[in-house]
Amino acid sequence: MIECDSDELWKNYIAAHPDARGFRGKQIEMFDELKIVCGNYQAPSPWTKMKKDMSETDGTESYTGNPEFGQMPDGFQEPPLVQPVRHLPKRPRASDSLQDALMTVASSIRRLADAMEQSKCSFDASELLQAVMEIDGLEEGKQMYAFEYLNADPVKARAFLTYNARMRKTYLFRQFWWWR
């Protein structure tokens, strides 16, 4: 049984552990068996068992009752081995079709993401170089620099290719303001 000597102590415990409010005075099912398995630690109180009831070797109680399994009577034979009961295989879960559908959706999303990732990089480098070379007033070194810059970033390269010639020149001089 769960007991507490002091009402004040119990109130403090309940304040810290509100879920334990209904535990006081309740019996602990199989307490004696738990003591054998786990040991017999109890908080100091007048109800703790005396030291003489405790085993001196490991802190657990010694069993002093009659042995349940004594000597086998003469002429006793072991029972024949029984084959284990065969269980039917488990039924397939109803959620298998749901899981299959989710896997299909996941693979479709993965393919879509891969396609989008590939489309980001899909521009013709020679077309980009040609577009950079068509800009009036750029010397060869600046053309190379602009091409390398745009070729490194597919999103900027596609945007650059979308612009007309005047916008391309404005874009490059805005990016490379020190060219002026």
User: What global pTM score does this model have?
Assistant: 0.36
The packing angle between helices 154-162 and 140-152, to 10°, is 120
Neighbours of 161 (CB within 10 A): 16
Q: Give the three-state DSSP class for 54.
A: strand
- For the stretch 72-88, pLDDT in tens is 566 666 666 666 666 66
Q: How far apart (Å, rounded) are the C-alpha atoms in residues 22 and 19?
A: 8
- For the stretch 103-144, pLDDT in tens is 887 777 777 777 777 776 677 888 999 999 998 888 889 899
